[in-house]
Amino acid sequence: MDLNRKKPPVRHWALALLLFSVATWCAMLWLQNLHPDWAWVGYVKAFAEAACIGGLADWFAITALFRHPMGVPLPHTAILPNKQAQLARGVANFIGTNFLDAHMIGEQVRKYQVGERVADYAQTHVTVAMIQERVPAVLQAIIEKIPQTAPEAWLQAGQKSLMDYATGERLGSGAGKLIAWAQNEHTDRWLMNRLAQALHDFCSAEDAAERVRPWLSELIRKANDENATWWDKIKTSMTGQAVDWLDDWLIEKALAGGKSLAERVQSDDAHPIHLWFSAQCIDWQRQLNDNTAVHDWLYKNAQAGLNNPMLTQWLGTLWRRIHAWLSEMSTGNTAQVQFIAQTLHDALNHQLAQPMRRAQLTDATANISARVLDTQQATIRAWMTTQLNAWSKERLNDALEEGIGNDLQYIRINGTVIGGLIGLGLYAISVWVV
């Protein structure tokens, strides 16, 4: 038995059943004329006759949905191709109403937990090396979008806009909100930890002592030249190897102390330095929000700075330096690129490690999706309508028949069988009653 043999379509079975009914009806007519005394022939003939009527009627109705039966353009046939425009609008409106609802899409996106998925992906796939590999390409794309020289007219217009906007209260309020945001996001702790890490890296470097020695010598020289303390005078009085040994000892102790301090700050969020910086941020925020003297100082200095003609020149120079800096970093694996990659990686992990931040990312994605869909729903419906109207009648028929064709052919089969049973029943009633 060939299990791979393709089964005939349901349409063939429906046609075969209809032809069998016609053949049976014809056979029963012949037998009835030949043997009029055979009662069972009448029952079979009634069944076959009604089956033919039911099968033919359903065939006509189903065929009329897609094309003209027998190629004859009868009224109200080929309904679906002739109503293609109304069908396209109906399908587009149905999908838009039931599947493109903004609120429903937003809720479905929210159930997807984008924040959690992004966090999981970042933790398992996003590495410093991956970011570092892509930073040059991103920088190159930025360079291609910005001019090398900043237009002075643009800079002057920006200065004027800032002058019109920059009041003391606004400057103070904006700076205060920035500090409050940094504290809410624990950015102050993150910044302090980054500074501690920089201190630790500096103190751990092989050339740290050589880098500190000139600074220490300069400090001692200034102390001797100005207001030297008794210890400076004693150290100055020493000569030769003793001074060098004392410098080495002081440098070693200072570097070891710096490393130890950095490690304690990084490992303890309740370290006095963290607490001091948080208290300073709170005090700065209060001063920026409420202190009129601070507002006046901010306004005075902001206006003075914005009115300074040298600002435009400085901004132009800064613009060119930034452009050159970006161009340099876009060329390859530089120390700056490594630093940017490491900073971005640390910031990403820091943000995604917070459940609140992951929840905010999920909500933001859901809200943006809902907002975009809400504004673009009419466009989507119009596009769907245009696409369906662009289909040929043959393609439309093929698509519909592929989707529901078998079910329609089963209607033909059911119509043939049920019609035959109804005809048989009516014939039996007529015989028995009469």
Residue linked to tokens 């630790």: 200
Residue 47, domain member (yes or no): yes
Residue 315, domain member (yes or no): no
Cα–Cα dist 405/396, whole Å: 12
The number of angstroms, rounded, from the C-alpha of 282 to the middle of its chain's C-alpha atoms is 36
Cα–Cα dist 200/63, whole Å: 83
Residue 337, domain member (yes or no): no
Contact between residue 188 and residue 281 where contact means Cβ atoms under 8 Å apart: yes
Residue 130, domain member (yes or no): no
pLDDT at residue 72 in the model = 75
Cα–Cα dist 420/20, whole Å: 12
Residue 409, domain member (yes or no): yes
Cα–Cα dist 356/119, whole Å: 12
pLDDT at residue 241 in the model = 46
Residue 32, domain member (yes or no): yes
Residue 49 CB neighbours (<10 A): 21
pLDDT at residue 157 in the model = 67
Tokens linked to 236: 């100055």
Tokens linked to 322: 């930034």
pLDDT at residue 3 in the model = 41
CA dihedral angle for residue 201, residue 204, residue 210, residue 212, rounded to 10 degrees? 60
> What single string gives the DSSP state of each residue in 282-345?
HHHHHHHHH-HHHHHHHHHHHHHHHH-HHHHHHHHHHHHHHHHHHHHHTTS--HHHHHHHHHHH
Residue 355, domain member (yes or no): no
Q: Is the overall model pTM greater than 0.75, yes or no?
A: no
Q: How many domains does the chain have?
A: 1
User: What is the CA angle 147-151-155, rounded to 5?
Assistant: 120
Residue 97, domain member (yes or no): no
pLDDT at residue 2 in the model = 43
Residue 305 CB neighbours (<10 A): 15
Give me the domain span that covers residue 415.
Answer: 10-82+391-433
Q: Say if residue 66 is exposed, middle or buried (CB neighbours under 10 Å; 0-12, 13-18, 19+).
A: buried
Q: pLDDT truncated to tens, each residue of the chain (434 aa)?
A: 344 444 457 778 888 888 898 899 899 889 888 888 888 888 888 898 888 988 888 888 887 877 777 777 777 777 777 777 888 888 888 887 777 777 888 888 888 888 888 888 888 888 888 887 787 788 777 777 766 555 566 666 666 666 666 666 777 777 777 777 777 767 777 878 888 888 888 888 877 777 777 776 666 555 555 555 555 555 555 444 444 555 667 777 777 888 888 888 888 888 888 788 888 888 887 877 777 787 778 777 777 766 677 777 777 777 777 777 777 777 765 677 788 888 888 888 888 888 888 888 888 888 888 888 888 888 888 888 888 888 887 787 777 777 777 777 888 888 888 888 888 888 888 888 75
